[in-house]
């Protein structure tokens, strides 16, 4: 069984109260990290599902959730709090707003589109963060994209993506990437406190590959790591990796310093790590 570290309980709203998080069957659970053991879940409605994107090669993005229960400390999407009426100041990772009508909205949009295109899940949240187990919004969106013949592109930190292999293997054009920014689970626990362990992500790569998809890995941001060990973990399963440096260094500067990782905040570290990974992966690294 794949295992994941994240909250055992979530707080729901409206309705309130605490409910157990139904994780054991699909991705397992174990003790949450102490200060982040609750996530405030709010149900909201969305006016749009497909959003035009400026990301090269990505015509549209879909974000079924506002906020992300994975709570990565370096997350670039923290600015999304400004779009939250309820959580504009809340710590990133402590809340998730669930766009409960997103599939319905998406169906209407797909019906009105004259041409097929491609959608990426997701640009400012993880489409397979823990609440997806309960709400299945990503799955519903994938079903619709498949039905309308749209291309599907996914990037996640969670092995929960394997739940949807039935759709992904039947859809016409699919790309699935896993974010794996370090080989070291101690680093992961500090910087991605509620995201699944590295081993679970590697196991997901294996399942995706066995299912006939050609998964890729986003090594981003390049965190403290042993590049050779990371290559050893990934090489059996991926034919392509993409690399990106740590872009929002100010956000984690104090945390990195407390851990003795000052070296990993420098341009020299980013350049040396990129050079090592490019050498190890050969022509497979972008």
Which residue's CB is nearer to ligand SF4, number 87 or number 146? Answer: 87
Residue 72 binds ligand SF4, judged by CB under 6 A: yes
Nearest to 94 by CA among 69, 75, 73: 69
Q: Which helix (H) or strand (E) holds 26?
A: helix 24-27
Q: Which residues contact 117 (CB under 8 A, 6 or more apart)?
A: 59, 60, 150, 151
In this structure, how many other beta carbons lie within 10 angstroms of the beta carbon of residue 216?
21
38 binds ligand SF4 (CB under 6 A): no
Pick the binder of ligand SF4 from 27, 39, 68, 141 (CB under 6 A): 68
185 or 280, CB closer to ligand SF4? 185
The answer to whether residue 87 forms part of the interface with ligand SF4 (CB under 6 A) is no
> Smallest distance, Å, CB 250 to ligand SF4?
16
Q: What is the rounded CA–CA span in Å between residue 115 and residue 142?
A: 17
Is 77 among the residues that bind ligand SF4 (CB under 6 A)? yes
- Using a 10 angstrom Cβ sphere, with 0-12 exposed, 13-18 middle and 19 or more buried, the burial of residue 245 is middle
Residue 55 backbone dihedrals phi, psi, to 5 degrees: -70, 130
In the numeric block, which tokens belong to residue 26? Answer: 């699909």
Query: Which lies closer to ligand SF4 via its Cβ, residue 13 or residue 251?
Result: 251
State yes or no: residue 27 binds ligand SF4 (CB under 6 A).
Answer: no
Considering beta carbons, is residue 110 or 132 the nearer one to ligand SF4? 132
- Residue number, 63 or 110, with CB nearest to ligand SF4: 63
- For the bound state, the minimum distance from the C-beta of residue 73 to ligand SF4, rounded and expressed in Å, comes to 8
Give the C-alpha distances (Å, rounded to integers) separating 242 from 60, 72, 217, 236, 237.
20, 19, 6, 16, 14
Residue nearer to ligand SF4 on the CB measure, 67 or 227 = 67
Those residues with Cβ within 8 angstroms of residue 124's Cβ, 6 or more apart along the chain or in another chain: 61, 63, 66, 68, 77, 80
CB 120 within 8 A of CB 153: yes
Chain residues 89-148 in contact with ligand SF4, contact rule CB under 6 A: 125-126
**Residues in binding contact with ligand SF4, number by CB under 6 A:** 10
Task: Figure out which of the listed residues 50, 63, 70, 130 binds ligand SF4, where binding follows CB under 6 A.
Answer: 70
Task: Assess 188 for contact with ligand SF4 (CB under 6 A).
Answer: no
Q: Note whether 75 binds ligand SF4 by CB under 6 A.
A: yes
Residues forming contacts to ligand SF4 in the complex (CB under 6 A) are 68, 70-72, 75, 77, 125-126, 157, 195
């Amino acid at each position: 069984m794949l295992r994941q570290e994240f909250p055992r309980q979530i707080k729901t709203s409206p309705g309130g109260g605490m409910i157990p998080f139904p994780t054991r069957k699909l991705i397992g659970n174990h003790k949450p990290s102490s200060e982040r053991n609750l996530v405030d879940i709010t149900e909201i409605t969305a006016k749009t599902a497909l959003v035009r994107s400026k990301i090269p090669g990505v015509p549209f993005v879909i974000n079924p959730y506002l906020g992300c229960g994975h709570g990565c400390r370096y997350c670039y999407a923290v600015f999304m709090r400004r779009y939250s009426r309820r959580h504009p100041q809340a710590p990133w990772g402590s809340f998730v707003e669930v766009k409960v009508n997103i599939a319905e909205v998406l169906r209407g949009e797909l019906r009105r589109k004259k041409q097929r295109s491609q959608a990426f899940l997701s640009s400012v949240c993880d489409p397979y963060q823990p609440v997806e187990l309960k709400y299945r919004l990503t799955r519903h969106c994938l079903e619709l994209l498949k039905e309308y013949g749209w291309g599907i592109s996914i990037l996640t930190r969670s092995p929960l993506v394997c739940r949807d292999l039935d759709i992904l293997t039947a859809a016409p054009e699919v790309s699935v990437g896993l974010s794996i920014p370090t080989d070291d689970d101690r680093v992961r626990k500090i910087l991605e406190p509620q995201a699944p362990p590295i081993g679970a992500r590697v196991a997901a790569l294996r399942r995706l590959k066995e299912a006939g998809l050609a998964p890729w890995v986003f090594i981003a941001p390049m965190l403290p790591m042993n590049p050779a060990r990371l290559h050893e973990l990934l090489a059996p399963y991926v034919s392509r990796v993409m690399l990106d440096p740590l872009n929002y260094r100010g956000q984690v500067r104090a945390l990195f310093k407390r851990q003795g990782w000052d070296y990993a905040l420098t341009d020299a570290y980013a350049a040396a790590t990129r050079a090592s990974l490019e050498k190890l992966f050969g022509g497979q690294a972008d």
